[in-house]
Chain A
Amino acid sequence: MEKVNSAAIKDKFTALYRQYSASICAGMPEPMNRQREAAISLFSERGLPEKGCERYRFTDIMAAFGHTYGYAINPNNETVDSKKAFRCAVPGLDTYTITVANGWIDAANSTIPEGVVATGLADGAQSCPDLFAQHYNRLAAVKDDTTISLNTAFARSGLFLYIPDNVTIDKPIQIVNILSGENPLMVNQRNLIVAGRGSQAKIVFCDHTLSERQFLLNNVTEIVMLDRSQLDCYSIQNLNDHSSQIASVLIEQNTDSQLLANTLTLHGGFVRNNLEVLMNGPHAEANIYGLSLPNGHQHIDNFTYIDHAVPECTSYELYKNVLNGHAVGAFGGYVLVRPNAQKTNAMQSNKNICVSSDSRMYTKPQLEIYADDVKCSHGATVGQLDENALFYMRQRGIGEDEARMMLMSAFAHEVVRTIRIPILADRYAEMIENRLRGKQAACGDCFMKCDKRG
């Protein structure tokens, strides 16, 4: 890819904001608009993070921002039959569905559970003004990543989801994020999710592209988990291979809250996931899993940052990569244990298989520990399929390809089995197998005619 000038990108977005700031702010709530100026100033001062800086050591995000995109400032009226697209991804899954097209909520194609607030950002600020003002951009503002400031400056579209105190949602909520259009498009989607005290929910994010155009998704999702809340967040990333995605998920966990986060990256030309968890109340527990299966010339970078700010919290992390073709995988895992965060338990593991000779893997697990009564560990491996296991299976009459498949599926299974929605776990396993066999990730009746898969 050609080298893109970072100063030019900085100027481009700053100028774009200055030119269109009136239309960007129009109709948006004050808690959002008042954050924009500081965000764009920070961005215009620093620009995007350059490759080689500690957070983006192995990933050059400039190329993704270098193209010319359209911007989804207002909802697109031309609706797609998103239901169909989504149903084909996980058939048989009984969920509440929230469809988001190019960043905007498509209410006609959404079913929202009772007692839950699920709206666009402007409506959210109106229906829950205090909550919105209190939490919007609270976690994001302190982050030292200018892709987030860029989102804060430009964000108009996205989802506000509030699960009130002690509400348990009976079915998973599926948020289907669809990108479509005839022209290259950049989407700065901003989501705010507040899980009330003692609430329980399972959320499935599905990211899809419905056309073979270049998309750039620069998403920021802030999730606040109040005391005793339980949240499962599954994310299936399945964009076309021309697209780029920077997904920043910032989570705050309060006392006794429990988080399960699971990110599956099937496709996407360039994917960078920032998952940052702030342990802000004792006895909080975070279980974080990720699986990526890049091939071709894909570049997938998972960055996680677990901040143990208070004592007696537990975090467990497992990220796996299976790399094929010329794919590049990167993992940066950062665990910070602050001085008073005694009795912390933090485990982190990153395991990778390089299948092809041209694939590359970079891993950087880090521990920074300032408290002594802790148990922290991390591990990282890069390797291949076990020759002995392959030989064992071939002795028993299993063909080599099939044996490799079985081993790779077994490798992926460690992540899949953590999913607490059985039908989704089955579908995951199926999608992974298809993906590894080089088949399309979506099933047969999908109307997408994608030619670049596999």
Chain B
Amino acid sequence: MDTTNIINEVTDSEYKYGFVSDIEHETIGKGLNEDVIRLISSKKEEPEWLLEFRLKAYRHWLTQTMPTWAHLDIPEIDYQDIIYYAAPKQAAKPESTEIDPELKKTFDKLGIPLDEQKALSGVAFDAVMDSVSVKTTYKDALAERGIIFCSFSEAVRNHPDLVRQYLGSVVPPTDNYFAALNSAVFSDGSFCYIPKGVRCPMELSTYFRINAAKTGQFERTLIVCDDDSYVSYLEGCTAPRRDENQLHAAIVEIVVMNNAEVKYSTVQNWYPGDREGRGGIYNFVTKRGLCKGVNAKLSWSQVETGSAITWKYPSTVLLGDGSSSEFYSVAVTNNHQQADTGTKMIHIGRNTHSRIVSKGISAGQSQNSYRGLVKVSANADGARNYSQCDSLLLGDRCGAHTFPYVECANNTAVLEHEATTSKIGEDQIFYCNQRGISTEDAVGLIVNGYAKEVLNTLPMEFAVEAQKLLQVSLEGSVG
């Protein structure tokens, strides 16, 4: 099969999650101003301090301009043309225990069972549709161990002190343009608190779904892992096929205390737009973790296959002595997708370690960039970093770019960075062909092998999903 055919076949492959559910939504009018923020806040019955937090963020956002430094071609976004709040009608009442059958059907279709008995054993879900969390499973089982896992709104109601203490402590509202926007209008998300010495018995997961048209999704995740605790957290997302672009600007904040460990995995599969580059999600996300305590550990794993435009840099601030962080990423772009993604590792404490493994795969006419920062401050004695970022090019009209920044102000630090860019070698394909493996399968094999180092770091259920996703996105794209 020649290259054009194969690429056509891949680009023709359906985005499996592109359906729209027929659910009645409660929405507010388009546009953004202080009244809209007050309205969102009152709909969620928020305390005064949170409204202040939002308004302060909004006022800061007004003074900012959209960042242009990323290697992305972002069409102008009209922020007044977006609906900032959309809730599936029934879920708007958080106390309701019965779920709308249509809603349930939607999540069943996505493979997220909201019935606990049918669920995959060992994974607790928080399902978020548009602006609200519709259901959190296994809440009671977790509560027995003192673990708090609930929607963000619920956390504001039930655990205001915890939320107030940590909200904005890792990503302040003034951090960047999209962080300010999110802090002003964020609607829901997940909150998770693991108490001292508790090892969370199951994987916690948030599933984000955009359903309503013309809306933006602005969710917020806050994870606090107290001393000696452990949690593995998963995040997945999908959206319907639409010809217009939808905005998703989220914030994830993670606080890791002494000897605690957080493993955060993402399979990002927002609607990427069609073959001509029409539609798709703009995914502008700020994710940051703070290793606050000694020997704290934070590990990021991400598989990025969706979104028309991705702007995302999960980062770690290594503040505690002996803390460590890992970042594993596979980013796949096809057709007209654009991705500018990577990580930041800020070494502040002594003997802090970080490791970055980033694998980019670009096909079609897409542009895929890795952008990363490794910064070692003057007091970070014994800091150690290893970064590796590889790019694979499938097709002669796509681009793969690498922009690493290394800033070192300590003479005991050891930092390494390496990057390679190439296409799949003809010799590798030939070797497989010789052994009776078709070109198609050979490419699949090589791409999977290429991404394996990252896929291996994902929890099992996710790894299976990610592997399937890779196959759908890239099967047979012979360069």
Contacts and interface: CB of A to CB of B under 8 A. Distances in A.
Nearest to A352: B408
Interface string A329-352: 000000000010010000000001
B405 interface: yes
B256 interface: no
B418 A361 contact: no
B6 to A, nearest CB: 14
B412 A384 contact: yes
Interface in A352-369: 352, 354-357, 359-369
B81 interface: no
A369 B401 contact: yes
Contacts of A357: 378, 410-412
Contacts of B421: 367, 369, 374-377
A379 interface: yes
Q: What does DSSP make chain A's interface, helix, strand, loop or mixed?
A: strand
B401 A383 contact: no
Interface in B316-336: none
Nearest to B412: A384
Interface string B409-438: 111111111111111000000000000000
B7 to A, nearest CB: 12
Nearest to A367: B402
A360 B410 CA distance: 7
B419 A362 contact: no
A356 B412 CA distance: 9
Given A365-B419, A366-B401, A367-B401, A372 B396 contact: yes
A362 B404 contact: no
B62 interface: no
B415 A382 contact: yes
A373 B479 CA distance: 8
Given A372-B394, A372-B396, A377 B414 contact: no
Interface in B369-416: 376, 378, 391, 393-416
A382 B408 contact: yes
B411 A380 contact: no
Interface residues of A, number: 36
B81 to A, nearest CB: 32
A370 interface: yes
B411 A356 contact: yes
Contacts of A362: 405-408
A383 B414 contact: yes
Nearest to B404: A365
Interface in B129-181: none
Interface in B38-87: 69, 71
A367 B419 contact: yes
A372 B376 CA distance: 34
A296 B411 CA distance: 15
A41 interface: no
Contacts of A366: 401-404
Contacts of A382: 376, 406, 408, 413-415
A58 to B, nearest CB: 8
Contacts of A54: 69
A230 B422 CA distance: 29
B396 A342 contact: yes
Contacts of B376: 382
Contacts of A374: 393, 421-423
